[in-house]
Amino acid sequence: MKQQKARSNLDKTIKYIMVIIILAVFIFFAALFIMLLQRSQLILSRYPVWELLFSSEWDPNKGLYGFLPAVTGTFFVTVFSLMIAVPISILSAVYISEYMPSAVKSYFQAFIDVLAGVPSVVFGLCALLVLVPFTRDVMGPLFGVNTTGMCVFTAALVLAAMVFPVIISLTVESLSILPIGLREQFLSLGATKWQLIETVLFRAAGPGIISGIILGFGRAFGETMAVVMVIGNKNILIPSVFSPGQTLPGLIVGSFSEMMSVPEHQSALIFVSLILFIIVLFFNILANIIKNKLKSRWRYE
């Protein structure tokens, strides 16, 4: 009896610790938001918001702060990279979890984790060495365009490579945790393996896969160094995938440490962070609503 009391006390203590930690995270979250808001006051008081968001002229030295190219550029690159990454990583995740012999599988998963752990600077260095010449000398002529190789296309490829491990590991995880009975019942009806995957597994593992995609989006959206190194960083509305573009994190990382002592410029860059923060927040709320809708529809039990 005494022991039981000790156990439940411990349980309660840990719960309080959890609550404290969660509160701390909340405070951090709120403080971050407040700091961004407060630090971007200066720029907001000097220029109207709609002018900042919908002008495409960027020249801090002349007092022109137009974030439209960077906002659209960020979206374009992220969506483009997810279009490459999502099908490839889901298909390979299915192959890894359903077709691969289990001896190979564990090594392969280890490989994927290594890929996930590779720092983005290293991705950038390799992209400069391999992908930029590839785009310039192979893809450019293939589509009949002149490109320096530093363009949206290359950036999307790099981002896709960085998103692979996120989506793959979460998809594999949610597929391999499904009960074996689910598969056996369906296969015993004479279905092929792909039919099983398509009609049963994708639904049962659906929420996990969608989480993977959301997290992949998060990684791609906030990625800085690797993209900055290959995208060409030009403040224009992107005319084609082989032209250079600009991203929001690129704006910040390119000049924050050089210009943080100039109040207006600093404030503009912090406003960029605020935009990023709000976009990510908005997107995640939306994705969460969609996920919950699908979750209730795709229940397999």
Partner 1 sequence: MKKRIVYIFLTLCFFVSVLASCSKTAESAVRPSIRISGAWALYPMMVVWADEYMKIHDIDIEVTGGGAGKGISDVFSNQSDIGMVSRPLKQEELEQGAFYVAVAKDTVIAIINENNPVYEDIMDKGLSREDLRRIFLGEVSHWGELFNINIEDDEIVVYGRADSSGAASVWASYLGGYTEADLQNNSDSNVSGDQPMANSVQGDANAIGFSNMNYVYNAETGGYIESIRPIPIDLNGNDVLDNDERFYDNRDVFLKNVTEGIYPSPPTREEYLVGNGPFEGHVKDFVKWILEGGQNFLEPNGYVGLVENEREKELEYLINGSRHAD
Partner 2 sequence: MNKYIKESIFRVLMIISVFIVIAFLVIIIGVNIVKGGIVLINEPAVIFTAPGPKYLLGGEGGILHAILGSILMVIPSTCIACAASYLIALFLQVDYIKNRFSNKLRVVFDVLWGIPSIIYGIFILNILIVTNRRGSLGAGIITLALLQMPVIVRYMDEALNSVPDGIRESAYSLGATRLETAFTTAKYALPGIIAGILIGMGRAMGDAASVIFTSGAGNSMPKGVSKSVSSLPVLIFQQANSFYPSVREHAYAASFVLIIIIIILNTISRICSKHFQKYTAGSDR
Residue list 103-132, contact with partner 1 (CB under 8 A): 128
Q: Which is nearer to partner 2, 140 or 250 (CB)?
A: 250
In which residue are the tokens 């590839």 written?
A: 134
Helices (H), the chain: 2-39, 41-46, 49-54, 68-94, 102-117, 120-126, 132-134, 140-143, 152-176, 180-187, 193-196, 202-204, 206-222, 225-230, 248-259, 263-297
Q: Which is nearer to partner 1, 129 or 290 (CB)?
A: 129
Window 127 to 186, contacts with partner 2 (CB under 8 A)? 129-130, 161, 164-166, 168-170, 173-174, 176-177, 179
Q: Which is nearer to partner 2, 9 or 240 (CB)?
A: 9
Alpha carbon separation from 157 to 33, 63, 119, 130 (Å, rounded): 31, 34, 16, 11
Binding mask 11-30 vs partner 2 (x if CB under 8 A, - otherwise)?
Answer: x--xx-xxx-xx--xx-xx-
59 DSSP β-pair partners: 64
116 contacts partner 2 (rule: CB under 8 A): yes
Q: Residue from 257, 258, 261, 297 that binds partner 2 (CB under 8 A)? A: 257
The whole-angstrom separation of Cα 175 and Cα 202 is 8
Which among 104-112, 181-189, 215-223, 255-263 is the span making contact with partner 1, rule CB under 8 A? 255-263
The whole-angstrom separation of Cα 201 and Cα 146 is 44
Which among 36-44, 208-216, 234-242, 279-287 is the span making contact with partner 1, rule CB under 8 A? 234-242
Window 168 to 197, contacts with partner 1 (CB under 8 A)? none
Window 48 to 87, contacts with partner 2 (CB under 8 A)? 87
* Neighbouring residues of 298: CB distance < 8 A, sequence distance ≥ 6: 203, 204, 206, 207
User: Quick one: what does residue 59 bind among partner 1, partner 2, none, with the CB cut-off 5 to 8 Å set by partner type?
Assistant: partner 1
65 DSSP β-pair partners: 58
Q: Residue from 40, 81, 109, 135 that binds partner 2 (CB under 8 A)? A: 109
Contact 156, 80 (CB under 8 A): yes
233 contacts partner 2 (rule: CB under 8 A): no
Window 10 to 49, contacts with partner 1 (CB under 8 A)? 10, 14, 17
In which residue are the tokens 């192959």 written?
A: 95
Q: Residue from 70, 96, 231, 238 that binds partner 2 (CB under 8 A)? A: 96
